[in-house]
Structure 1
Amino acid sequence: MTADAGATRWHQFKPVIQVASGNFLEMYDFFVFAYYAAAIGRAFFPSHDAFASLMLSLATFGVGFLMRPLGALVLGAYIDHHGRRAGLLLTLGLMAVGTVSVAVTPGYATLGIAAPLIVLAGRLMQGFSAGAELGGVSVYLAEIATPGHKGFYVSWQSASQQVAVIVAALLGVALQQELTPAQMDDWGWRLPLLLGCLIIPILFLLRSGLQETAEFATRKKRTASLSDVWRSVAANWPIVLVGAMLVTMTTVSFYLITAYTPTFGKETLKLDAMAALIVTLLVGVSNLFWLPVMGALSDRIGRRPLLIGFTLLALVTAYPVMLWLTAAPSFERLLAVELWLSFIYGSYNGAMVVYLTELMPADVRSAGFSLAYSLATAIFGGFTPAICTWLIHVTDNKAMPGVWLSCAALMGLIAAVLAERVGTAAANSRPEAMGAELSARRAS
């Protein structure tokens, strides 16, 4: 490769790094909060009952997911109306405020009731911004992609999340080796959050250099107001619903193999906590490999073959591999199962995210994408750890997470089969399509 060719490729790929960097912060903060939920609970929600303290912390974590649909509607509409660049700077700013509020707020012992209220407000703001962050990043990448490489470009939205998983897991391993449990409870849990604060200026510097996408800048017809965006999203509700079903497979598998793995490995399988963190780290590396590879493959063979093929593969294998794991739990078996599920997740999601950007109408692409993604995450994905724990408890079957993943795969399979039909029907029902059809009839 010549120097000029290398410079050209870097110039083409540089915006991918700029836009995906903020997506890293969003996922990094969510994972750090989940990893250290117990210590955060004791700092901000002290109680004589350790379970109550943990549940209050996890409830605060969950509120962030419930805020995502609202953020998708409000901020997604803002992005569709004011532009991709302006919206992505806004979501990064809101995320930054939320990250700082959790990292630097003194505990309950110092501030009293104000401490958990500040943390709760920060989590609400983070969830609100995350509701449009994923959609904004995905749409931006889809619109700047070079011809024939849209799947590869958009896959870096999810790939940047895997970097967050890797970094959070590495920090977890390092802190467990260097600090005592008492130190972790007292102040150690703040270190990963403070690191997130330190990189915020770098992320702003990267994103401030973004240019508006040419597709948005040259669009002749734009929505006149935010209310117009919301009306258009409501008119396209079948596409949003199918999109949410497509995302369900992604979000359930992702939170199953990342956020739930440390808890599942330690509490259910009774493995060493360090072993579970190492598995999570390797899953992040595996995801980071498969996502761009399969995104690029979808550019060559199409999106639907991957969507249908890997939902079927999940349906056939998810529960059997979990049965195999729980029959004789070990680090090796946990790693093998998680890497297999990582392969399924990365292959499916590498095609799904770009397909969802293509499915949404151009005038509500960010809002529609964000709402579909946020609904699936709020209802199914974010609560996957809790649902899996409950299923194991009520059935006394440690392999039940495989059943939950199979249900998500079935939903994804149905959506993949119906998506094109629903998209075509919605396109034909839009006023401009109806007007074109009426003109054609008159001409004939």
Structure 2
Amino acid sequence: MSQSSSSPPPQLKSRIGAILRSTSGNFLEQFDFFLFGFYAPYIAKAFFPSQDETAALLNTFGVFWLGALMRPVGAIVLGAYIDRIGRRKGLIVTLAIMAIGTVTIAVCPTYASIGVAAPIIVLVGRLLQGFSAGVELGGVSVYLAEIATPGNRGFYTSFQSSSQQVAIFVAATIGFALNELVTGDTIGFLGGIEFAKWRIPFFVGCLIIPFIFFLRRTLEETPEFLAMKKHPSTTEVFRSAALNWKIIVLGMMVAVLTTTTFYFVTVYTPTFGRNVLKLTSQDALLVTLLVAVTNFFWNPVGGAVSDRLGRKPVLLTIAGLSLVTAYPALHWLVAEPTFGKMLTVEMMFSFYFGVYSGTMLGALVEVVPAHVRTTCFSMAFALAAGLFGTFTPFASTWLIDQTGDKASPGFWLMCAAILGIVATLAIYRDGKAATSQQPLAARG
């Protein structure tokens, strides 16, 4: 019996399934990261009580950032494990660690119940999440690059970032529904445990963990990893990563614009809309929800365009636009904040993030050595996220508090754009950087 013309061929089904299974862990990671940022004011009251609202918020974003500082540690430790043992096994381990951190935060009692132990437990949960996240993105990006069809590596790797946008969409939808349906600080009691409004979405994240584990366990190892004649030992991975520190630093600089813009338009936007622009929670959530939709769209567009035009021109164009428009756009927004103006500015940043990120992921996979690809990629991105990206909510809150200028987060984004321009010019200065058509196996 002939196959229906409406059904995709088996090979296409297999690749789509591999993309979904490999990126499923990204959903959990970004779902929890976004929740922590979106519910920062509630979490601040629950675990970091203070008479000063700004101080409590800074403490919360500080813990958010400290967890991100574990990313480089996870990148080198778990990255070496993936480069030595394999992509499939490594991605299952990272998911397990992420799950433990998520459950820890979800069930932690408040400061009112157990005192100073509460923020310590939350910090431990964030450290576990950061340790796992340090290699999650790199491991998934490498996996997608190694299963990509010729000439489409940027398009394939872009779905790593697109999968995170699904998490933002789901989390924002849950938050929007709760704000519409729930009034007051709590929604009642069950078994003597207070279910605060912020805690329900965290429990939703816990409930989907078994399903994501099922998806990850069905992953197949990439043909390229299986074809490697020799897999480096942990010591060899560490040594090679140290020898390639220059490309790791340049990769970090390229990735900074992706991480800072992403955390601004997703994690920080709800707080920015409510606390700074004084818009309603519903307005801020709706903007974030729409940003997630456009982020999902622009990522593969960026990857596909860079497959055809090259990585360098796309990276330089977007970084240049961000440099000259970030502060003016925010200044226009904060002068007379409205839902429409906030949506317009966020859509602009969403375009910048999506196209740049879809291009950057493919570029970074191509410029790191093949035999330590996961480690070097993860280190570069973990440093960008840990030192800059996840610091964005804290930096934005601090800049506004210190300068009194509500548009001052634009300066932070401009600095990220400058780093991206400098690093892109350095990586492609001699024309020897990998192109989207060059086989990955030829690198390293």
Give the counterpart of 2:398 among 375, 390, 399.
390
Measured in 2, the distance between the counterparts of 1:384 and 1:422 equals 33
The 3-state SS of whatever aligns with 1:315 is: helix
Aligned residue number for residue 194 of structure 1: 203
Give the counterpart of 2:329 among 321, 337, 340.
321
| 1:422 CA displacement | 8.0
1:408 matched to 2:427? The reply is no
| 1:57 CA displacement | 3.0
1:164 matched to 2:188? The reply is no
| 1:165 CA displacement | 1.0
Measured in 1, the distance between the counterparts of 2:368 and 2:129 equals 25
Aligned residue number for residue 272 of structure 1: 280
| 1:113 CA displacement | 4.3
Give the counterpart of 1:218 among 216, 227, 243.
227
**Contact 2:64 2:390 (C-alpha < 8 Å) held by counterparts:** no
The 3-state SS of whatever aligns with 2:267 is: coil
1:149 matched to 2:152? The reply is yes
Measured in 2, the distance between the counterparts of 1:423 and 1:221 equals 30
**Superposition TM-score, scaled by structure 2 size:** 0.91
1:134 matched to 2:142? The reply is no
The 3-state SS of whatever aligns with 2:103 is: helix
For the structure 1 residues 243 and 151, does the alpha-carbon distance in structure 2 shift closer, same or farther, using more than 3 Å as the test?
A: same
Counterparts in 2 of 1:63-142, with a 5 A limit?
A: 63-142=66-145
| 1:402 CA displacement | 2.1
**One-letter identity of the residue aligned with 2:261:** S
Give the counterpart of 2:368 among 360, 383, 389.
360
Aligned residue number for residue 437 of structure 2: none
For the structure 1 residues 300 and 239, does the alpha-carbon distance in structure 2 shift closer, same or farther, using more than 3 Å as the test?
A: same
| 1:6 CA displacement | 4.0
Measured in 1, the distance between the counterparts of 2:408 and 2:59 equals 25
The 3-state SS of whatever aligns with 1:193 is: helix
Aligned residue number for residue 43 of structure 1: 46
**One-letter identity of the residue aligned with 1:90:** V
Aligned residue number for residue 341 of structure 2: 333
**Contact 1:238 1:422 (C-alpha < 8 Å) held by counterparts:** no
Give the counterpart of 2:359 among 338, 351, 356.
351
- Give 5+ residue unaligned stretches, structure 2: 188-193, 435-441
- The range that moved more, 99-108 or 298-307, is 99-108
**One-letter identity of the residue aligned with 2:397:** T
For the structure 1 residues 407 and 52, does the alpha-carbon distance in structure 2 shift closer, same or farther, using more than 3 Å as the test?
A: closer
**Superposition TM-score, scaled by structure 1 size:** 0.91
Measured in 1, the distance between the counterparts of 2:7 and 2:36 equals 44
Aligned residue number for residue 186 of structure 2: 183
Instruction: Output one character per residue of 1:157-199: Cα deviation in whole Å (capped at 9) or x when no partner.
Output: 1001111111111111111111113216952211101111110
Measured in 1, the distance between the counterparts of 2:118 and 2:397 equals 29
Aligned residue pair count: 426
**One-letter identity of the residue aligned with 1:211:** E
**Contact 2:33 2:267 (C-alpha < 8 Å) held by counterparts:** no
The alignment's C-alpha RMSD in Å is 2.1
- The range that moved more, 34-43 or 379-388, is 34-43
Instruction: Output one character per residue of 1:45-84: Cα deviation in whole Å (capped at 9) or x when no partner.
Output: 4456655544443332222111111111101111111111
For the structure 1 residues 318 and 56, does the alpha-carbon distance in structure 2 shift closer, same or farther, using more than 3 Å as the test?
A: closer
| 1:377 CA displacement | 1.1
| 1:284 CA displacement | 0.7
Give the counterpart of 2:253 among 245, 250, 255.
245
User: Percentage identity across aligned positions?
Assistant: 53
1:295 matched to 2:303? The reply is yes
Measured in 2, the distance between the counterparts of 1:420 and 1:302 equals 11
Give the counterpart of 1:58 among 58, 61, 65.
61
**One-letter identity of the residue aligned with 2:76:** L
1:203 matched to 2:212? The reply is yes
